[in-house]
Amino acid sequence: MTNMTKNPGLLADGSWALPAQLNMAQQAMDHPGASLAILDLTGPERRDITHADLAEMVDGLARYLMTRIQPGDRVGVLLSQSPWCAASHLAIWKLGAISVPLFKLFKRDALASRAGDAGVSFVLTDPEGADLLGDLAEAVMVDQVSLPGGPVEFAETTPETPAILIYTSGTTGSPKGALHAHRVLTGHLPGVASSHDHLGQPRDCLWTPADWAWIGGLFDVLMPGLALGVPVVAARLDKFTPEACADLIARGDVRNVFFPPTALRMLKAAGQGLAGLRSVASGGEPLGAEMLAWGRANFGVTINEFYGQTECNMVASSCGADYAPRPGCIGKAVPGHEVAVINEAGTPTDQEGDVAVRRGSASMMLRYWNRPEETAAKFNGDWLVTGDRGIFEGDFLRFVGREDDVITSAGYRIGPAEIEDCLMTHPAVATVGVVGKPDPLRTEIVKAYVVLKGDVSATEKELQTYVKDRLAHYSYPREIAFVEALPMTVTGKVIRKDLKARAAQECAELQQESSS
């Protein structure tokens, strides 16, 4: 690894020796004031935000927050990619409080479940976010509350002090909050550096189309970039298109990009090459040999795949600068993270099994928020079990598939239970089962199998709009099938694996028809 001076505690043997005091806001802000922190392309004109500018924004906001919060309090952040989004998280962490990132594509029900579960009393946002919040929580306009005064001291936090609560979808119940400590940024840095062929080279500049409300945008790009002194581009693409992507990369002189796999597929379908890139990283699902070859031909670099999840991220990665990739494999375990494939007994095996990470990883969550039973169920002995199946081929980890029913669509992880719960509140729906259906562009699309009540009718468009208005635009069912009955267990639970098999069969039949 190069440029790891901001990665305290990673020893040469790959183990951690974290300092007694660690505040990740200080990690991100400890740079010469005149150096470029964020290149702001959210408006019509480019704005260069130096580290001195960012520190002034952080301190002004922190002085306001000191009048309202105590260490350990949760504060929502509902902002898209922007300097104020970065400053909001940094100000909260600087004071020893806990930030809760919220996504602007969330609708009322999705915002309510997360803000309510976290115990958020107010949210740092902008006018657009205030409209989304309504009366769910107090909306505080970040650009209007900055208070004058001197520098604010960093709270004396430890590596284990809670800092951020990031919600992730599961197969049952409402989304769970993964509570991370101040060590989480440190834990991401080796993998981020690997996935960008030793990030921190001269002229490096980072960007991702992924929103900073997700762990992929916040901790695979924004905060590691700041910590390593690499400028980060803030930009808003209301809709990702290959043309807009190419234009942004040119305007921002972007050299390093994290692309979700769906974005890469869209670029490939459009035949859109990108010049001037030094590194391209991708994570979320395997790319395959064809995509890797296309990337080399059209980007001039080897796409580095990486692996992780909200609960424990950036634990495996490829690094084209160090070794050739193995198509179909994610990469190798990142220094500082012991990754294994284990059997049901919790013992590492050379056969296919559960992908797991041993306790001690610096990017591993502390726990699920207020869910001790689900926290315990996430572990098998000393191993955090990811829910993915895999097998090691030498040092390379090959991804086999997900073990649970979480839907991976266009880079988003979508829990079927939340969509089912939403649809069940519609007056026409008697029962419903939601699964992922294979899709060549998005990996999967959300498909709902709906049984209607005998005396009420509803259309596919009506139910789709119902979900869009309450959850998130990306999680609505792109296909709805109205059926007479659903496969059920004797206890009345929908058998999702039968519905997934039905959806896969539908996909196969459609492909057969189109090829004949």
Query: Are 120 and 221 found together in one domain?
Result: yes
Lookup result for tokens 């769910």: 136
- Out of 366, 399, 432, a domain closes at 399
Quick one: pLDDT at residue 493? 65
Chain-centroid distance of CA 494 in Å reads: 28
Q: Is residue 384 part of a domain?
A: yes
Phi, psi of 85, rounded to the nearest 5 degrees: -65, -45
**For the residues 227-243, what does the mean pLDDT come to?**
92
Torsion of CA 454, 457, 458, 460, to 10 degrees: 70
DSSP H helices, 3-96, are 24-29, 51-65, 83-94
Tell me the C-alpha distance between 47 and 49, whole Å: 6
Q: Do 185 and 309 fall within a single domain?
A: yes
Residues 194 and 200: beta-carbon distance below 8 Å: no
For the cut 50, the answer to whether the pLDDT of residue 3 exceeds it is no
Q: In this structure, is residue 13 part of a structural domain?
A: no
Residue 292 falls within a domain, yes or no?
Answer: yes
Query: Exposed, middle or buried, 435 (CB in 10 Å: 0-12/13-18/19+)?
Result: buried
Task: Answer yes or no: do 336 and 483 share one domain.
Answer: no
Detail the DSSP E strand segments found in 287-370: 303-309, 312-317, 329-333, 339-342, 353-358, 367-368
State the CB neighbour count (10 A cutoff) for residue 153: 9
Region 374-381: what's the mean pLDDT?
95
341 phi and psi, to 5 degrees?
-105, 125
Range with lowest mean pLDDT among 30-34, 163-167, 310-314, 485-489: 485-489
| Sign of the torsion angle spanned by Cα atoms 357, 316, 163, 31 | positive
At residue 105, the pLDDT reads 87
pLDDT averaged over every residue in the chain: 91
Q: What is the mean pLDDT of residues 457-486?
A: 91
Domain boundary among 350, 379, 399: 399
Band the pLDDT of 12: cuts 50, 70, 90.
confident
| Cβ burial, residue 130 (10 Å; 0-12/13-18/19+) | middle
In whole angstroms, give the CA distance from residue 329 to residue 320: 13
Amino acid at 115: A
Q: What 3-state DSSP class applies to 312?
A: strand
Number of domains in the chain: 2
Radius of gyration of the chain (CA): 22
Q: Return the structure tokens found at 115.
A: 């803000």
Matching residue, tokens 């699964």: 435
57 versus 429: which is more confidently predicted? 57
Given 379, 399, 419, the domain boundary residue is 399
Q: Is the pLDDT of residue 2 over 60?
A: no
Question: Does residue 207 form part of some domain?
Answer: yes
What's the confidence (pLDDT) of residue 459? 94
User: Which one, of 201, 160, 206, lies nearest residue 179 by Cα?
Assistant: 160
Whether residue 3 is contained in a domain is answered as: no
**Is the same domain home to 176 and 276?**
yes
56 in a domain, yes or no?
yes
**Residue owning tokens 């498909």:** 447
Four-point Cα dihedral 392, 395, 399, 400, nearest 10: -20
Summarised one tens digit per residue, pLDDT across range 306-364 is 999 999 999 999 999 999 988 878 899 999 999 999 999 999 999 989 999 999 999 99
My answer on whether 394 and 419 are in the same domain is no
Q: What residue type is assigned to position 281 of the chain?
A: A
Angle at 73 between CA 67 and CA 75, to 5 degrees: 80
Nearest to 93 by CA among 10, 17, 158: 158
Is the domain of 364 the same as that of 416? no
Whether 271 and 356 map to the same domain: the answer is: yes
Neighbours of 101 (CB within 10 A): 23
pTM: 0.83
In terms of pLDDT, which residue wins out, 263 or 67? 67
Q: Tell me: the pLDDT tens digits for 84-131?
A: 999 999 999 999 999 999 999 898 889 999 999 999 989 999 999 999
* φ, ψ of residue 184 in degrees (nearest 5): -65, -35
pLDDT value, residue 164: 98
Average pLDDT over residues 143-160: 95
Contact residues for 501 (Cβ-Cβ < 8 A; gap 6+): none
CA–CA separation, 130 and 142 (whole Å)? 11
Model confidence at 403, pLDDT cuts 50, 70, 90, reads low
Compute the C-alpha angle 209/212/213, nearest 5°.
125
Does 354 lie in the same domain as 290?
yes
Instruction: Determine, yes or no, domain membership for 11.
Output: no
- Sort 318 into a burial class: Cβ within 10 Å, 0-12 / 13-18 / 19+: buried
Percentage of the chain with pLDDT > 70?
A: 95
CA distances from 492 to 138, 486, 487, 488, 503 (A): 40, 10, 9, 5, 21
Q: What is the pLDDT of residue 402?
A: 67
Q: Are residues 302 and 442 in the same domain?
A: no
Please give the pLDDT value at position 1: 35
CB 186 within 8 A of CB 24: yes
> Both 446 and 395 in a single domain?
no
* Statement to judge: residues 434 and 380 lie in one domain: no
- Distance in Å from the first CA to the final CA of the chain: 52
Token pair in block for residue 202? 């001269």
504: domain CATH number?
Answer: 3.30.300.30
Q: List Cα–Cα distances, 121 to 46, 172, 354, 502, in angstroms.
A: 34, 26, 39, 44
| 485: CB partners within 8 A, 6+ apart | 451
Answer whether 304's CB lies under 8 Å from 279's CB.
Answer: yes
Q: 148 lies in a domain?
A: yes
Region 140-156: mean pLDDT is: 95
Same domain flag for 163 and 203: yes
Q: What's the confidence (pLDDT) of residue 4?
A: 38
pLDDT of residue 14: 81
pLDDT digits (tens, 9 = 90+) for 161-192: 999 999 987 655 678 999 999 999 999 999 99
Closest among 408, 409, 401, 288 to 354, alpha carbons compared: 401
What pLDDT score does 488 carry?
Answer: 75
Q: Are 23 and 91 in contact (CB under 8 A)?
A: no
Residue 459 CA neighbour count, 13 Å, CB half:
3
| Six token digits for residue 322 | 């160090």
Q: Quote the domain boundaries for residue 496.
A: 407-515
- The CATH number given to whatever domain includes residue 152 is 3.40.50.12780
Mean pLDDT, rounded, for 370-398: 93
